[in-house]
Chain A
Amino acid sequence: METDRRAEREVARRRKARRGQTIAAVSTLVVLGGLAALTLASPGWTVLRESFFSSDVFVESFPDILEGFWLDIRVFLVVEVAVLILGLAVALVRTVEAPAIFPLRLIAILYTDVFRGIPTILLVYLIGFGVPALATAEDGGATPLSWLPTNEVLLGGAALALSYGAYVSEVYRAGINSVHRGQRDAALAIGLSEQQALRHVIVPQAVRRVGPPLLNDFIALQKDVALISILGVAGEAFRIAQIQASSDFNYTPLIAAALLYLTITIPMARLLDRWERGRAVS
Protein backbone atom coordinates (compact mmCIF):
# COMPACT_ATOMS: atom_id res chain seq x y z
CA MET A 1 0.00 0.00 0.00
CA GLU A 2 2.71 2.37 1.07
CA THR A 3 4.82 1.63 -2.03
CA ASP A 4 1.79 2.28 -4.25
CA ARG A 5 1.36 5.75 -2.81
CA ARG A 6 5.05 6.39 -3.28
CA ALA A 7 4.87 5.34 -6.95
CA GLU A 8 1.77 7.46 -7.53
CA ARG A 9 3.49 10.52 -6.10
CA GLU A 10 6.57 9.88 -8.22
CA VAL A 11 4.43 9.69 -11.39
CA ALA A 12 2.57 12.88 -10.47
CA ARG A 13 5.82 14.68 -9.77
CA ARG A 14 7.27 13.65 -13.13
CA ARG A 15 4.13 14.66 -14.97
CA LYS A 16 4.24 18.08 -13.32
CA ALA A 17 7.92 18.57 -14.21
CA ARG A 18 7.31 17.55 -17.81
CA ARG A 19 4.39 19.93 -18.16
CA GLY A 20 6.54 22.77 -16.79
CA GLN A 21 9.28 22.08 -19.29
CA THR A 22 6.85 22.00 -22.19
CA ILE A 23 5.27 25.31 -21.21
CA ALA A 24 8.71 26.94 -20.85
CA ALA A 25 9.84 25.70 -24.27
CA VAL A 26 6.70 26.80 -26.08
CA SER A 27 6.61 30.23 -24.49
CA THR A 28 10.31 30.79 -25.24
CA LEU A 29 9.73 29.85 -28.87
CA VAL A 30 6.75 32.19 -29.15
CA VAL A 31 8.44 35.18 -27.54
CA LEU A 32 11.86 34.91 -29.19
CA GLY A 33 10.41 33.80 -32.51
CA GLY A 34 7.96 36.69 -32.47
CA LEU A 35 10.71 39.21 -31.73
CA ALA A 36 12.94 37.76 -34.46
CA ALA A 37 10.13 37.74 -37.00
CA LEU A 38 9.23 41.32 -36.13
CA THR A 39 12.83 42.47 -36.55
CA LEU A 40 13.60 40.53 -39.72
CA ALA A 41 10.33 41.52 -41.40
CA SER A 42 10.83 45.20 -40.75
CA PRO A 43 11.92 47.21 -43.84
CA GLY A 44 14.95 48.68 -41.97
CA TRP A 45 16.47 45.29 -41.15
CA THR A 46 18.75 45.09 -44.20
CA VAL A 47 20.18 48.54 -43.43
CA LEU A 48 20.67 47.62 -39.80
CA ARG A 49 22.33 44.34 -40.73
CA GLU A 50 24.70 46.01 -43.13
CA SER A 51 25.77 48.81 -40.81
CA PHE A 52 25.96 46.83 -37.52
CA PHE A 53 26.36 43.17 -38.37
CA SER A 54 28.37 43.09 -41.58
CA SER A 55 30.42 39.92 -41.62
CA ASP A 56 32.98 41.34 -44.07
CA VAL A 57 33.66 44.38 -41.91
CA PHE A 58 33.71 42.16 -38.83
CA VAL A 59 36.38 39.87 -40.23
CA GLU A 60 38.43 42.81 -41.42
CA SER A 61 38.33 44.82 -38.19
CA PHE A 62 38.39 42.07 -35.59
CA PRO A 63 42.17 41.34 -35.41
CA ASP A 64 43.08 44.97 -34.63
CA ILE A 65 40.32 45.31 -32.05
CA LEU A 66 41.34 42.05 -30.41
CA GLU A 67 44.88 43.38 -30.12
CA GLY A 68 43.55 46.59 -28.58
CA PHE A 69 41.48 44.56 -26.16
CA TRP A 70 44.66 43.27 -24.57
CA LEU A 71 45.36 46.84 -23.40
CA ASP A 72 41.83 47.01 -21.97
CA ILE A 73 42.42 43.87 -19.96
CA ARG A 74 45.72 45.13 -18.59
CA VAL A 75 44.18 48.48 -17.63
CA PHE A 76 41.25 46.66 -16.04
CA LEU A 77 43.49 44.39 -13.95
CA VAL A 78 45.73 47.21 -12.70
CA VAL A 79 42.77 49.49 -11.93
CA GLU A 80 40.96 46.65 -10.16
CA VAL A 81 43.87 46.09 -7.80
CA ALA A 82 44.14 49.84 -7.17
CA VAL A 83 40.40 50.03 -6.47
CA LEU A 84 40.52 47.13 -4.01
CA ILE A 85 43.33 48.78 -2.05
CA LEU A 86 41.96 52.34 -2.22
CA GLY A 87 38.43 51.21 -1.32
CA LEU A 88 39.60 49.24 1.71
CA ALA A 89 41.85 52.06 2.89
CA VAL A 90 39.02 54.59 2.69
CA ALA A 91 36.60 52.22 4.41
CA LEU A 92 39.10 51.62 7.24
CA VAL A 93 39.74 55.33 7.71
CA ARG A 94 35.99 55.84 8.03
CA THR A 95 35.67 52.96 10.51
CA VAL A 96 38.54 53.61 12.92
CA GLU A 97 37.49 56.11 15.56
CA ALA A 98 40.91 57.36 16.67
CA PRO A 99 40.77 61.16 17.02
CA ALA A 100 44.24 61.53 15.46
CA ILE A 101 42.94 60.53 12.05
CA PHE A 102 39.94 62.85 12.13
CA PRO A 103 41.20 64.98 9.19
CA LEU A 104 41.73 61.82 7.15
CA ARG A 105 38.21 60.70 8.01
CA LEU A 106 36.84 64.04 6.84
CA ILE A 107 38.69 63.71 3.53
CA ALA A 108 37.44 60.13 3.15
CA ILE A 109 33.82 61.18 3.69
CA LEU A 110 34.16 64.06 1.24
CA TYR A 111 35.83 61.78 -1.28
CA THR A 112 33.14 59.07 -1.22
CA ASP A 113 30.33 61.61 -1.35
CA VAL A 114 31.77 63.64 -4.23
CA PHE A 115 33.29 60.93 -6.39
CA ARG A 116 30.22 58.74 -6.28
CA GLY A 117 28.16 61.71 -7.40
CA ILE A 118 30.27 62.71 -10.41
CA PRO A 119 29.65 60.83 -13.67
CA THR A 120 32.68 58.65 -14.40
CA ILE A 121 33.02 60.13 -17.88
CA LEU A 122 33.39 63.65 -16.44
CA LEU A 123 36.06 62.40 -14.06
CA VAL A 124 37.95 60.86 -16.98
CA TYR A 125 37.83 64.21 -18.79
CA LEU A 126 38.76 66.18 -15.70
CA ILE A 127 41.80 64.10 -14.81
CA GLY A 128 42.74 63.07 -18.34
CA PHE A 129 42.84 66.63 -19.66
CA GLY A 130 43.13 68.64 -16.45
CA VAL A 131 46.28 67.08 -15.05
CA PRO A 132 48.34 67.48 -18.27
CA ALA A 133 47.13 71.11 -18.41
CA LEU A 134 48.57 71.68 -14.94
CA ALA A 135 51.81 70.02 -15.92
CA THR A 136 52.52 72.13 -19.00
CA ALA A 137 53.04 75.90 -19.21
CA GLU A 138 51.43 77.81 -22.06
CA ASP A 139 54.80 78.34 -23.75
CA GLY A 140 55.61 74.66 -23.37
CA GLY A 141 58.16 75.36 -20.61
CA ALA A 142 58.37 73.92 -17.10
CA THR A 143 55.79 74.63 -14.38
CA PRO A 144 55.93 73.87 -10.64
CA LEU A 145 53.71 70.85 -11.42
CA SER A 146 55.73 69.51 -14.33
CA TRP A 147 56.34 66.31 -12.42
CA LEU A 148 52.69 65.32 -12.85
CA PRO A 149 52.14 62.40 -15.22
CA THR A 150 50.70 63.13 -18.65
CA ASN A 151 50.32 59.59 -19.95
CA GLU A 152 46.67 59.13 -21.05
CA VAL A 153 46.43 55.49 -20.04
CA LEU A 154 47.78 56.27 -16.60
CA LEU A 155 45.48 59.25 -16.10
CA GLY A 156 42.44 57.46 -17.50
CA GLY A 157 43.19 54.52 -15.22
CA ALA A 158 43.58 56.87 -12.25
CA ALA A 159 40.19 58.47 -13.00
CA LEU A 160 38.53 55.05 -13.13
CA ALA A 161 40.27 53.98 -9.91
CA LEU A 162 39.10 57.12 -8.10
CA SER A 163 35.56 56.72 -9.32
CA TYR A 164 35.25 53.03 -8.50
CA GLY A 165 37.27 53.35 -5.29
CA ALA A 166 34.51 55.54 -3.90
CA TYR A 167 31.85 52.91 -4.66
CA VAL A 168 33.93 50.01 -3.44
CA SER A 169 34.82 51.75 -0.17
CA GLU A 170 31.11 51.91 0.59
CA VAL A 171 30.75 48.22 -0.23
CA TYR A 172 33.57 47.39 2.18
CA ARG A 173 32.08 49.66 4.82
CA ALA A 174 28.71 47.95 4.55
CA GLY A 175 30.55 44.64 4.97
CA ILE A 176 32.43 45.85 8.04
CA ASN A 177 29.22 47.15 9.61
CA SER A 178 27.46 43.87 8.90
CA VAL A 179 29.86 41.85 11.07
CA HIS A 180 28.04 41.13 14.32
CA ARG A 181 28.99 43.26 17.33
CA GLY A 182 29.71 40.11 19.30
CA GLN A 183 32.73 39.50 17.08
CA ARG A 184 34.28 42.79 18.13
CA ASP A 185 33.42 42.08 21.76
CA ALA A 186 35.04 38.65 21.57
CA ALA A 187 38.15 40.04 19.87
CA LEU A 188 38.53 42.69 22.56
CA ALA A 189 37.79 40.17 25.30
CA ILE A 190 40.75 37.97 24.31
CA GLY A 191 42.94 41.06 24.67
CA LEU A 192 43.23 42.40 21.14
CA SER A 193 43.37 46.15 20.53
CA GLU A 194 40.72 47.80 18.34
CA GLN A 195 43.11 47.78 15.39
CA GLN A 196 44.01 44.12 15.90
CA ALA A 197 40.33 43.26 16.16
CA LEU A 198 39.72 44.96 12.82
CA ARG A 199 42.68 43.31 11.15
CA HIS A 200 42.33 39.74 12.40
CA VAL A 201 38.61 39.39 13.01
CA ILE A 202 36.35 42.06 11.47
CA VAL A 203 37.94 42.82 8.09
CA PRO A 204 38.53 39.18 7.06
CA GLN A 205 34.85 38.45 7.68
CA ALA A 206 33.74 41.65 5.96
CA VAL A 207 35.83 40.94 2.85
CA ARG A 208 34.32 37.48 2.55
CA ARG A 209 30.83 38.88 2.72
CA VAL A 210 31.30 41.57 0.10
CA GLY A 211 32.78 39.29 -2.58
CA PRO A 212 29.62 39.16 -4.72
CA PRO A 213 28.84 42.91 -4.62
CA LEU A 214 32.51 43.64 -5.36
CA LEU A 215 32.44 41.36 -8.38
CA ASN A 216 29.34 43.21 -9.53
CA ASP A 217 31.24 46.49 -9.42
CA PHE A 218 34.09 44.92 -11.38
CA ILE A 219 31.77 43.87 -14.17
CA ALA A 220 30.81 47.53 -14.47
CA LEU A 221 34.45 48.62 -14.28
CA GLN A 222 35.43 46.22 -17.05
CA LYS A 223 33.00 47.96 -19.43
CA ASP A 224 33.97 51.45 -18.29
CA VAL A 225 37.61 50.89 -19.27
CA ALA A 226 36.29 51.87 -22.73
CA LEU A 227 35.87 55.39 -21.33
CA ILE A 228 39.61 56.01 -21.52
CA SER A 229 39.13 56.01 -25.30
CA ILE A 230 37.85 59.59 -24.99
CA LEU A 231 41.36 60.64 -23.98
CA GLY A 232 42.57 59.49 -27.38
CA VAL A 233 44.41 56.48 -26.01
CA ALA A 234 45.89 54.82 -29.07
CA GLY A 235 45.50 51.06 -29.19
CA GLU A 236 42.48 50.75 -26.89
CA ALA A 237 39.88 48.36 -28.30
CA PHE A 238 36.92 50.72 -28.28
CA ARG A 239 39.03 53.57 -29.72
CA ILE A 240 40.20 51.37 -32.59
CA ALA A 241 36.62 50.32 -33.24
CA GLN A 242 35.49 53.96 -33.21
CA ILE A 243 38.12 54.98 -35.74
CA GLN A 244 37.26 52.08 -38.00
CA ALA A 245 33.56 52.79 -37.67
CA SER A 246 33.88 56.43 -38.59
CA SER A 247 36.19 55.76 -41.54
CA ASP A 248 33.59 53.79 -43.49
CA PHE A 249 30.36 54.68 -41.66
CA ASN A 250 29.87 51.11 -40.49
CA TYR A 251 29.32 50.30 -36.83
CA THR A 252 30.23 46.64 -37.01
CA PRO A 253 33.64 47.22 -35.38
CA LEU A 254 31.87 48.57 -32.30
CA ILE A 255 29.81 45.38 -32.14
CA ALA A 256 33.05 43.42 -32.43
CA ALA A 257 34.44 45.35 -29.46
CA ALA A 258 31.21 44.78 -27.51
CA LEU A 259 31.48 41.02 -28.12
CA LEU A 260 34.96 41.07 -26.62
CA TYR A 261 33.67 42.86 -23.51
CA LEU A 262 30.95 40.23 -23.21
CA THR A 263 33.52 37.43 -23.25
CA ILE A 264 34.76 38.84 -19.94
CA THR A 265 31.59 40.16 -18.32
CA ILE A 266 29.31 37.17 -18.95
CA PRO A 267 31.64 34.61 -17.33
CA MET A 268 32.05 37.04 -14.43
CA ALA A 269 28.28 37.35 -14.09
CA ARG A 270 27.87 33.56 -14.08
CA LEU A 271 30.67 33.22 -11.54
CA LEU A 272 28.86 35.76 -9.38
CA ASP A 273 25.60 33.80 -9.62
CA ARG A 274 27.28 30.56 -8.63
CA TRP A 275 29.07 32.27 -5.78
CA GLU A 276 25.86 33.74 -4.38
CA ARG A 277 23.99 30.46 -4.79
CA GLY A 278 26.77 28.65 -2.95
CA ARG A 279 26.55 31.12 -0.09
CA ALA A 280 22.78 30.89 0.07
CA VAL A 281 23.12 27.14 0.63
CA SER A 282 25.75 27.37 3.34
Chain B
Amino acid sequence: MRASSPGGAVLEIRGVTKAFGELEVLRGIDLTVHEHESVALIGASGSGKSTLLRCIDLLEEIDDGDVFLDGEVITDPSVDPVAVRRRLGFVFQAYNLFPNLNVLDNVMLGITRAHGVGPESAEAQARGMLERFGLAGRERDHPDRLSGGQQQRVAIARAFATRPRAMLLDEVTSALDPELVGEVLAAVRDLKAEGVTMLLATHEMSFAREVADRVAFIHEGRLLEVGPPEQLLAEPREPETQRFLRRLLAAGRV
Protein backbone atom coordinates (compact mmCIF):
# COMPACT_ATOMS: atom_id res chain seq x y z
CA MET B 1 0.00 0.00 0.00
CA ARG B 2 3.08 2.28 -0.02
CA ALA B 3 3.34 4.79 -2.80
CA SER B 4 6.92 6.00 -2.67
CA SER B 5 7.76 6.36 -6.35
CA PRO B 6 8.40 9.97 -7.44
CA GLY B 7 5.10 11.63 -8.14
CA GLY B 8 3.24 9.10 -6.01
CA ALA B 9 0.58 10.27 -3.58
CA VAL B 10 1.90 11.54 -0.25
CA LEU B 11 -1.38 12.88 1.10
CA GLU B 12 -4.75 11.54 0.02
CA ILE B 13 -7.86 13.17 1.39
CA ARG B 14 -11.00 11.13 0.76
CA GLY B 15 -14.50 12.40 1.49
CA VAL B 16 -13.49 14.24 4.65
CA THR B 17 -16.27 15.93 6.60
CA LYS B 18 -16.06 17.91 9.82
CA ALA B 19 -18.67 19.76 11.80
CA PHE B 20 -18.36 21.88 14.92
CA GLY B 21 -21.74 21.27 16.52
CA GLU B 22 -24.31 22.38 13.94
CA LEU B 23 -21.75 24.12 11.78
CA GLU B 24 -20.56 21.94 8.89
CA VAL B 25 -17.09 23.22 8.08
CA LEU B 26 -15.95 20.49 5.69
CA ARG B 27 -18.58 18.79 3.53
CA GLY B 28 -16.73 16.05 1.76
CA ILE B 29 -13.26 17.04 0.57
CA ASP B 30 -11.28 14.92 -1.94
CA LEU B 31 -7.75 15.96 -2.76
CA THR B 32 -4.43 14.26 -3.43
CA VAL B 33 -1.03 15.86 -2.94
CA HIS B 34 1.76 14.07 -4.80
CA GLU B 35 5.42 13.75 -3.93
CA HIS B 36 7.31 17.05 -4.52
CA GLU B 37 4.06 18.74 -5.32
CA SER B 38 2.81 21.92 -3.73
CA VAL B 39 -0.91 22.58 -3.60
CA ALA B 40 -2.37 25.91 -2.55
CA LEU B 41 -5.78 26.09 -0.88
CA ILE B 42 -7.60 29.32 -1.62
CA GLY B 43 -11.01 30.53 -0.54
CA ALA B 44 -12.74 33.08 1.65
CA SER B 45 -12.21 33.25 5.41
CA GLY B 46 -14.27 30.53 7.06
CA SER B 47 -14.37 28.38 3.92
CA GLY B 48 -12.64 25.52 5.77
CA LYS B 49 -9.01 25.80 4.58
CA SER B 50 -7.51 25.95 8.07
CA THR B 51 -9.81 23.26 9.42
CA LEU B 52 -8.77 20.93 6.60
CA LEU B 53 -5.08 21.44 7.45
CA ARG B 54 -5.75 20.93 11.15
CA CYS B 55 -7.68 17.74 10.41
CA ILE B 56 -4.78 16.36 8.37
CA ASP B 57 -2.38 17.01 11.27
CA LEU B 58 -4.92 15.35 13.60
CA LEU B 59 -5.31 18.53 15.63
CA GLU B 60 -9.03 18.10 14.92
CA GLU B 61 -10.87 14.81 14.64
CA ILE B 62 -12.74 14.32 11.38
CA ASP B 63 -16.32 13.03 11.29
CA ASP B 64 -16.32 11.04 8.07
CA GLY B 65 -13.94 10.04 5.28
CA ASP B 66 -10.25 9.30 5.66
CA VAL B 67 -6.80 10.79 5.16
CA PHE B 68 -3.87 8.69 3.94
CA LEU B 69 -0.20 9.51 4.42
CA ASP B 70 2.09 7.52 2.11
CA GLY B 71 -0.78 5.17 1.49
CA GLU B 72 -1.47 4.44 5.15
CA VAL B 73 -4.66 5.62 6.75
CA ILE B 74 -3.92 8.15 9.54
CA THR B 75 -7.45 9.08 10.58
CA ASP B 76 -8.40 5.66 11.93
CA PRO B 77 -9.06 5.70 15.68
CA SER B 78 -6.48 2.92 16.11
CA VAL B 79 -3.66 5.11 14.73
CA ASP B 80 -1.41 6.89 17.25
CA PRO B 81 -1.79 10.60 16.41
CA VAL B 82 1.59 11.45 17.94
CA ALA B 83 3.41 9.14 15.52
CA VAL B 84 1.52 10.69 12.59
CA ARG B 85 2.30 14.27 13.60
CA ARG B 86 5.99 13.36 13.80
CA ARG B 87 5.85 12.71 10.05
CA LEU B 88 4.20 16.03 9.23
CA GLY B 89 5.27 19.65 9.66
CA PHE B 90 2.75 22.36 10.53
CA VAL B 91 3.23 26.12 10.45
CA PHE B 92 0.57 28.29 12.10
CA GLN B 93 -0.73 31.68 11.10
CA ALA B 94 0.18 33.12 14.51
CA TYR B 95 3.65 31.39 14.59
CA ASN B 96 2.89 29.84 18.03
CA LEU B 97 6.54 29.81 19.05
CA PHE B 98 7.14 28.76 22.65
CA PRO B 99 7.82 32.01 24.56
CA ASN B 100 9.47 30.13 27.43
CA LEU B 101 12.22 28.83 25.14
CA ASN B 102 14.84 30.63 23.08
CA VAL B 103 14.95 30.30 19.31
CA LEU B 104 17.39 27.39 19.32
CA ASP B 105 15.40 25.44 21.92
CA ASN B 106 12.18 26.09 20.01
CA VAL B 107 13.69 24.28 17.04
CA MET B 108 15.45 21.63 19.12
CA LEU B 109 12.50 20.57 21.29
CA GLY B 110 10.84 18.41 18.66
CA ILE B 111 14.15 16.98 17.41
CA THR B 112 15.18 15.79 20.87
CA ARG B 113 11.87 15.00 22.58
CA ALA B 114 9.74 13.78 19.70
CA HIS B 115 12.45 12.20 17.54
CA GLY B 116 14.88 11.12 20.25
CA VAL B 117 17.96 12.66 18.65
CA GLY B 118 20.88 13.25 21.05
CA PRO B 119 21.45 16.84 22.19
CA GLU B 120 24.63 17.42 20.20
CA SER B 121 23.46 16.33 16.80
CA ALA B 122 20.06 17.91 17.49
CA GLU B 123 21.75 21.23 18.14
CA ALA B 124 23.81 20.96 14.97
CA GLN B 125 20.66 20.12 13.05
CA ALA B 126 18.73 23.04 14.57
CA ARG B 127 21.57 25.51 13.97
CA GLY B 128 21.83 24.42 10.37
CA MET B 129 18.12 24.89 9.90
CA LEU B 130 18.16 28.37 11.47
CA GLU B 131 21.08 29.39 9.30
CA ARG B 132 19.26 28.17 6.23
CA PHE B 133 16.33 30.48 7.00
CA GLY B 134 18.56 33.49 7.70
CA LEU B 135 18.45 33.32 11.50
CA ALA B 136 22.10 32.66 12.33
CA GLY B 137 23.07 34.72 15.40
CA ARG B 138 19.54 34.77 16.81
CA GLU B 139 19.76 31.33 18.48
CA ARG B 140 19.84 32.65 22.05
CA ASP B 141 17.10 35.25 21.59
CA HIS B 142 13.63 34.67 22.92
CA PRO B 143 10.80 34.87 20.37
CA ASP B 144 9.48 38.20 21.70
CA ARG B 145 12.75 39.86 20.63
CA LEU B 146 12.11 38.93 17.01
CA SER B 147 10.03 40.58 14.30
CA GLY B 148 6.95 38.75 13.06
CA GLY B 149 8.76 37.73 9.91
CA GLN B 150 11.68 36.32 11.89
CA GLN B 151 9.31 34.50 14.22
CA GLN B 152 7.51 32.89 11.32
CA ARG B 153 10.84 31.82 9.81
CA VAL B 154 11.77 30.21 13.14
CA ALA B 155 8.39 28.45 13.05
CA ILE B 156 9.15 27.16 9.55
CA ALA B 157 12.60 25.98 10.68
CA ARG B 158 11.00 24.28 13.70
CA ALA B 159 8.43 22.46 11.57
CA PHE B 160 10.92 21.50 8.86
CA ALA B 161 13.82 20.55 11.16
CA THR B 162 12.89 16.87 11.27
CA ARG B 163 12.35 16.60 7.51
CA PRO B 164 8.62 15.82 7.53
CA ARG B 165 7.01 13.96 4.62
CA ALA B 166 4.82 16.99 3.97
CA MET B 167 4.59 20.57 5.19
CA LEU B 168 1.19 22.02 6.08
CA LEU B 169 1.25 25.82 6.00
CA ASP B 170 -1.75 27.65 7.43
CA GLU B 171 -1.90 31.27 6.18
CA VAL B 172 1.70 31.79 7.20
CA THR B 173 1.79 35.43 6.08
CA SER B 174 -1.65 36.60 7.20
CA ALA B 175 -0.54 37.88 10.61
CA LEU B 176 2.45 39.79 9.22
CA ASP B 177 2.98 43.45 8.48
CA PRO B 178 3.11 43.87 4.69
CA GLU B 179 6.83 44.64 4.60
CA LEU B 180 7.62 41.35 6.37
CA VAL B 181 5.62 39.10 4.04
CA GLY B 182 8.42 38.84 1.51
CA GLU B 183 10.99 37.19 3.77
CA VAL B 184 8.52 34.50 4.83
CA LEU B 185 7.47 33.84 1.25
CA ALA B 186 11.16 33.52 0.37
CA ALA B 187 11.45 30.80 3.02
CA VAL B 188 8.52 28.92 1.51
CA ARG B 189 9.98 29.38 -1.97
CA ASP B 190 13.15 27.82 -0.60
CA LEU B 191 11.21 24.74 0.52
CA LYS B 192 9.56 24.57 -2.88
CA ALA B 193 12.93 24.70 -4.62
CA GLU B 194 14.01 21.69 -2.62
CA GLY B 195 10.96 19.78 -3.76
CA VAL B 196 9.26 19.62 -0.38
CA THR B 197 5.70 18.29 -0.58
CA MET B 198 3.41 21.08 0.61
CA LEU B 199 -0.22 21.85 1.22
CA LEU B 200 -0.70 25.52 1.99
CA ALA B 201 -3.65 27.74 2.71
CA THR B 202 -3.03 31.25 1.47
CA HIS B 203 -4.56 34.65 0.75
CA GLU B 204 -1.66 35.68 -1.46
CA MET B 205 -2.75 34.86 -5.00
CA SER B 206 0.53 36.00 -6.50
CA PHE B 207 2.28 33.62 -4.18
CA ALA B 208 -0.08 30.77 -5.01
CA ARG B 209 0.68 31.42 -8.67
CA GLU B 210 4.40 31.30 -8.00
CA VAL B 211 4.91 28.28 -5.74
CA ALA B 212 1.82 26.14 -6.28
CA ASP B 213 1.76 23.37 -8.86
CA ARG B 214 -1.99 23.24 -8.41
CA VAL B 215 -4.50 25.54 -6.76
CA ALA B 216 -7.63 24.25 -5.04
CA PHE B 217 -10.58 26.57 -4.45
CA ILE B 218 -12.65 25.78 -1.36
CA HIS B 219 -16.08 27.29 -0.89
CA GLU B 220 -18.28 26.61 2.15
CA GLY B 221 -16.53 23.36 2.97
CA ARG B 222 -16.53 21.99 -0.57
CA LEU B 223 -13.63 21.77 -2.97
CA LEU B 224 -15.16 23.37 -6.05
CA GLU B 225 -12.26 23.46 -8.46
CA VAL B 226 -8.65 22.27 -8.72
CA GLY B 227 -6.24 23.18 -11.44
CA PRO B 228 -2.87 24.63 -12.36
CA PRO B 229 -2.58 28.24 -11.15
CA GLU B 230 -2.32 29.75 -14.63
CA GLN B 231 -5.67 28.19 -15.51
CA LEU B 232 -7.57 28.42 -12.22
CA LEU B 233 -6.53 31.95 -11.36
CA ALA B 234 -6.92 33.30 -14.90
CA GLU B 235 -9.85 31.35 -16.32
CA PRO B 236 -11.75 29.70 -13.49
CA ARG B 237 -14.58 27.43 -14.58
CA GLU B 238 -16.82 27.68 -11.53
CA PRO B 239 -18.96 30.81 -11.04
CA GLU B 240 -18.08 30.83 -7.31
CA THR B 241 -14.37 30.86 -8.12
CA GLN B 242 -14.91 33.69 -10.59
CA ARG B 243 -16.85 35.65 -7.99
CA PHE B 244 -14.14 35.05 -5.33
CA LEU B 245 -11.34 36.19 -7.64
CA ARG B 246 -13.33 39.22 -8.77
CA ARG B 247 -13.78 40.26 -5.16
CA LEU B 248 -10.05 39.89 -4.52
CA LEU B 249 -9.30 41.86 -7.66
CA ALA B 250 -11.61 44.66 -6.51
CA ALA B 251 -9.79 44.70 -3.15
CA GLY B 252 -6.44 44.90 -4.93
CA ARG B 253 -5.28 41.57 -3.59
CA VAL B 254 -4.40 39.81 -6.85
Nearest B residue to A203 via CB reads B100
Question: In the complex, A196→B158 CA distance in Å?
Answer: 16
Of residues 178 through 209 on chain B, the ones whose CB sits less than 8 Å from some CB of chain A are: none
Q: Mark B108-122, 1 if CB is under 8 A from A, else 0.
A: 011001110000000
Question: In the complex, A208→B101 CA distance in Å?
Answer: 12
Could you tell me if B109 and A182 are in contact, using CB atoms closer than 8 angstroms? no
A5 to chain B, nearest CB (A): 34
A188-B59, A190-B110, A192-B109 in contact; A182/B162 too (CB < 8 A)? Answer: no
Of residues 181 through 196 on chain A, the ones whose CB sits less than 8 Å from some CB of chain B are: 182-183, 185-193, 196
A220 to chain B, nearest CB (A): 28
Could you tell me if A189 and B98 are in contact, using CB atoms closer than 8 angstroms? no
Mostly helix, strand, loop or mixed at chain A's interface?
A: helix
Question: In the complex, A189→B81 CA distance in Å?
Answer: 10
Q: Does B41 contact A (CB under 8 A)?
A: no
**Interface hub of A180, A183, A189, A193 (most chain B Cβ within 10 A):** A189
Nearest A residue to B91 via CB reads A189
**What's the count of A-B pairs with C-beta under 8 Å?**
63
**Interface hub of B85, B88, B100, B110 (most chain A Cβ within 10 A):** B100
Interface size in chain A (residues, C-beta < 8 A): 18
Could you tell me if A191 and B98 are in contact, using CB atoms closer than 8 angstroms? no
Of residues 220 through 241 on chain A, the ones whose CB sits less than 8 Å from some CB of chain B are: none
Partner of A189 from B90, B94, B99 at Cβ < 8 Å? B90
Could you tell me if B94 and A190 are in contact, using CB atoms closer than 8 angstroms? no
Nearest B residue to A191 via CB reads B114
A182-B92, A189-B85 in contact; A204/B158 too (CB < 8 A)? Answer: no
Q: Mark B79-102, 1 if CB is under 8 A from A, else 0.
A: 001100110111010101111100
Of residues 171 through 211 on chain A, the ones whose CB sits less than 8 Å from some CB of chain B are: 180, 182-183, 185-193, 196, 200-201, 204-205, 208
**Interface hub of A185, A191, A201, A205 (most chain B Cβ within 10 A):** A191
Could you tell me if B110 and A182 are in contact, using CB atoms closer than 8 angstroms? no
Chain A residues near B100 (CB, 8 Å)?
A: 201, 204-205, 208
Could you tell me if A200 and B113 are in contact, using CB atoms closer than 8 angstroms? yes
Partner of B99 from A188, A193, A205 at Cβ < 8 Å? A205
Q: Does B35 contact A (CB under 8 A)?
A: no
Could you tell me if B92 and A186 are in contact, using CB atoms closer than 8 angstroms? yes
Chain A residues near B97 (CB, 8 Å)?
A: 186
Question: In the complex, A274→B52 CA distance in Å?
Answer: 46
Question: In the complex, A182→B109 CA distance in Å?
Answer: 16
Q: Does B25 contact A (CB under 8 A)?
A: no
Question: In the complex, A192→B90 CA distance in Å?
Answer: 13
Could you tell me if B114 and A196 are in contact, using CB atoms closer than 8 angstroms? yes
Could you tell me if B115 and A191 are in contact, using CB atoms closer than 8 angstroms? yes
Could you tell me if A183 and B96 are in contact, using CB atoms closer than 8 angstroms? yes
Could you tell me if A191 and B110 are in contact, using CB atoms closer than 8 angstroms? yes
Chain A residues near B115 (CB, 8 Å)?
A: 191
Chain A residues near B113 (CB, 8 Å)?
A: 191-192, 196, 200
A55 to chain B, nearest CB (A): 52
Nearest A residue to B93 via CB reads A182
Chain A residues near B81 (CB, 8 Å)?
A: 188
| 10 pairs of residues in contact across A and B, judged by CB atoms under 8 Å | A186-B92, A186-B96, A186-B155, A188-B81, A189-B159, A190-B158, A196-B113, A200-B109, A200-B113, A205-B99
Q: Which 7 A-B pairs have the closest CB atoms?
A: A191-B114, A190-B110, A191-B86, A186-B96, A189-B90, A182-B96, A204-B100
Give the interface of B toward A (CB within 8 A).
54, 57, 59, 81-82, 85-86, 88-90, 92, 94, 96-100, 109-110, 113-115, 155, 158-159, 162
Q: Given A185-B92, A186-B98, list of 6 further CB < 8 A pairs? A: A188-B59, A189-B57, A189-B88, A193-B82, A200-B98, A201-B100
